[in-house]
């Protein structure tokens, strides 16, 4: 039985987040008001103790100036992300956000303009380092010729955008997801994409700097060469260095008040 995905090249050009119903986001979110959902999430975060009972639907609807049906749509999104639990004939309760909530909660918080805490960012980047170094190692062993071509095209497009004074943050994401696709393991791309979605605002700021953007292109070309030569150790080393450099800027050069 073939456990790997087909050789068809994916289209990464429309990768969205929670509010765009991408990669498993609840379809109900299409009609959700971002501002109201942010207020509701803030209410829940203030009651972050596990098992805390939230105000009734009627009270929440009044606080948010929402109709009951619209409020239920918002609550359904949060329940799907395991942020809350709606118990029939009992009420709405918070879950253990650190253990039970979906990682998509962090994406949602980012999209609603609620910057990740330093701890959440550090822990997320730690997981990303582990995933992406393994992803590129596998890609170096499993890639097909068309994967190398796809990676080269993305790098060329990234470089062209820089030359035209256009942000290339989307191409950076596409490059990393294309590496994940080259592993022939769909789950890598899905999970890695989550980490890109939760740091969109930071990456936009990061790639506003032309020098950093050009350095990213240079490092991408190095990674492509290592993948082509099937040098797994070099691939892992280059990816770790690449992510660590970006991470340092995330922590030191981009304060939370700039990513709203």
Domain span at residue 223 reads 115-258
Q: pLDDT (tens digit, 9 = 90+) per residue, 224-257?
A: 999 999 999 999 999 999 999 988 887 776 555 4
Task: Find the mean pLDDT for residues 197-226.
Answer: 94
Q: pLDDT (tens digit, 9 = 90+) per residue, 29-45?
A: 445 677 788 888 887 77
Query: In this structure, are 138 and 63 located in the same domain?
Result: no
pLDDT-based confidence at residue 179 (cuts at 50, 70, 90) = very high
| 223 backbone dihedrals φ, ψ, rounded to 5° | -65, -40
Tally of structural domains, the chain: 2
Query: In this structure, are 97 and 193 located in the same domain?
Result: no
Position 26 scores a pLDDT of 41
Task: Find the mean pLDDT for residues 175-204.
Answer: 92
Task: Find the mean pLDDT for residues 163-192.
Answer: 95
Q: What is the mean pLDDT of the chain?
A: 83
Query: In this structure, are 31 and 88 located in the same domain?
Result: yes
162 found inside a domain? yes
Q: What percent of the chain has pLDDT over 70?
A: 83
Residue 58's closest CA among 91, 94, 95, 93?
A: 91
DSSP structure string for the chain? ---SPPSPPP--TT---GGGT-TT--GGGGG--HHHHHHHHHHHHTT-STTPBPPPHHHHHHHHT--HHHHHHHHHHHHHTTSEEEETTTEEEE--TTTTS-THHHHHHHHTT-PPPHHHHHHHHHHHHHHHHHHHHHHHHH--HHHHHHHHHHHHHHHHHHHTT---HHHHHHHHHHHHHTTT-HHHHHHHHHHHHTTHHHHHHHTTSHHHHHHHHHHHHHHHHHHHTT-HHHHHHHHHHHHHHHHHHHHHT--GGG--
Query: In this structure, are 122 and 102 located in the same domain?
Result: no
Query: In this structure, are 131 and 188 located in the same domain?
Result: yes
Q: What percent of the chain has pLDDT over 90?
A: 46
pLDDT of 178 over the 50 cut: yes
pLDDT of 122 over the 70 cut: yes
Looking at residue 214, which CATH number applies to its domain?
Answer: 1.20.120.530
2 found inside a domain? no
Of 50, 82, 106, the position where a domain reaches its end is 106
Looking at residue 40, which CATH number applies to its domain?
Answer: 1.10.10.10
pLDDT-based confidence at residue 112 (cuts at 50, 70, 90) = confident
Query: In this structure, are 185 and 146 located in the same domain?
Result: yes
Task: Find the mean pLDDT for residues 134-152.
Answer: 98
Task: Find the mean pLDDT for residues 9-18.
Answer: 52
Position 10 scores a pLDDT of 58
Position 220 scores a pLDDT of 98
């Amino acid at each position: 039985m073939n456990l790997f995905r087909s050789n068809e090249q994916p289209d990464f050009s429309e990768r969205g987040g929670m509010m765009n119903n991408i990669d498993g986001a609840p379809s109900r979110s299409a009609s959700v008001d971002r501002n109201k959902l942010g207020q509701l999430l803030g209410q829940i975060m203030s009651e972050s103790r596990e098992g805390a009972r939230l105000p009734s639907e009627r009270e929440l609807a009044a606080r948010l100036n929402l109709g009951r049906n619209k409020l239920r749509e918002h609550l359904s999104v949060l329940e799907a992300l395991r942020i809350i639990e709606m118990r029939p004939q009992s009420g709405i309760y918070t879950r253990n956000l650190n253990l039970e909530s979906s990682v998509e909660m962090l994406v949602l918080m980012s999209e609603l303009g609620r910057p990740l805490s330093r701890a959440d960012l550090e822990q997320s980047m730690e997981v990303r380092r582990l995933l992406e170094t393994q992803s590129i190692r596998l890609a170096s062993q499993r890639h097909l010729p068309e994967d190398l071509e796809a990676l080269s095209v993305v790098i060329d497009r990234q470089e062209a955008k820089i030359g035209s004074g256009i942000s290339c943050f989307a191409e950076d994401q596409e490059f990393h997801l294309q590496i994940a696709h080259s592993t022939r393991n769909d789950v890598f791309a899905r999970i890695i994409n989550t980490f890109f979605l939760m740091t969109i605002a930071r990456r936009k700021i990061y790639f506003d700097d032309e020098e950093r953007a050009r350095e990213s292109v240079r490092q991408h070309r190095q990674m492509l060469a290592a993948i082509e030569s099937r040098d797994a150790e070099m691939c892992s080393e280059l990816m770790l260095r690449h992510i660590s450099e970006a991470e340092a800027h995330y922590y030191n050069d981009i304060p939370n008040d700039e990513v709203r």
